[in-house]
Every structure is written in structure tokens, then in C-alpha cells.
Amino acid sequence: MSAGAAGVSLPELVFGLGLIGLLCTMALPSIESLAHQGRAAAGVRHLGAELEAVRWMALAGGRSHGLLFERSEGGWGWQRVVDGNGNGIRRAEIRSGVDRRLGGVRRLSREVPGARLGFPGPGPYPRVPPSRGSLGNPDDPVRFGGSDLVSFSPRGSGTSGSLYVTSERGALYALVLHGRTARQRVRRYAEGSGRWMP
């Protein structure tokens, strides 16, 4: 080997690999946190697409369509529902069969693994701006007034309210539906500052 040839000694190689390993270990929690943020964000986008699909069903079909959210042993799930008599969707009429359920119960955790309807802990959590105060009961991630039913009229307007989605490690997102315009907004809860971010 000539005097000008470059090379790395074994101690230098071991030191370099150790440094790379240390940096990877330090970055792992950040990467894991980003992955959980991504799962919760994907879950909230999935629900937004579901709301938009039901709204288009109402516009195209000329009758109210909606989503009925219910809690069971497996967690929160939803079913699509359709108005059966032209007076809008009502829980009593869903129970009696006048307003029909379409398809089976769907769960976010099945459709977007690692995401679910809910909150990561007991809270308290602030309300999504411009509302003020705290959300109260962290057991209810479906907030459409006093109901767990969101519906859209044949004109496209819907029920105002919010859905809260979390991941296995505590990321939290809110999907806010503005009923009159059916506009959706997504907010991310920043635990460090205790605020909802756009």
C-alpha cells in the first residue's frame, strides 16, 4: 500500500459504528412518536372521507343519510343509516326500523390499525377553538350536540360536531364538522402546550 492511500483502522471503525448506533437510539423515540402521530392523522382523515361519502349519498339520493356511532365492548363503531320516511334521521326511527341501517358496524381500529375513536387519557382536554372551556367526559369521543348521530340533508348540510381520534401512544386529533356548510377542519392536540394546533 502506498504512503498516500487512505484507510480506517479497526478502532476508528468501531467508534464510528458506535456513534451511529447511539444517534439511531436517540432518534428512535422521535421516529416512534411521528409514527403514532401518523396513525392518528390517518384515522381522522379516514373518518373525514367517510363523512364526505355519506354526504354525497344524501345529495345523490335525495334523502338524508348519516352515521350512527355506538359504543360496545369492542370500543366505538359506526353504521351508515338512511332516512326511510322523509322526515330526517331519528334514533327512535332507527330502533323501529323506519330509518334503515346500511351494512355492518365498522371500527376505526380495523380500518386504520393503531388508531381509534377516543382520548389517550383522562384529560382534561380543552375544547377546540373557537369554543372555550374543557371537554369534560373523556369517555365520549363523538360530540354532535347531545347525540352520537351525524346526518346530512339532501341539500348537503349536516350536523355540527366533533370526532376525536387517538393512537396507541397518545397522539390526539379532532375532526370538526361545521354543519351548515359541511366543511371539515382537522386539529392536532399539542400535549406540551395544551393547545389545539391547525
Domain hosting 157: range is 38-197
Residue 188 burial by CB count (10 A; 0-12/13-18/19+): exposed, middle or buried? middle
126-146 pLDDT per residue, tens: 999 988 999 888 889 999 988
- Report yes or no: 166 and 38 within 8 Å, Cβ to Cβ: no
Residue type, 90: R
- Residue 10's pLDDT band (cuts 50, 70, 90): confident
Tell me the β-bridge partners of 166: 116, 172
CATH number at residue 109: 3.55.40.10
Q: How confident is the model at residue 169 (pLDDT cuts 50, 70, 90)?
A: confident
Assess if residue 45 is contained within a domain: yes
Tell whether 71 is covered by a domain: yes
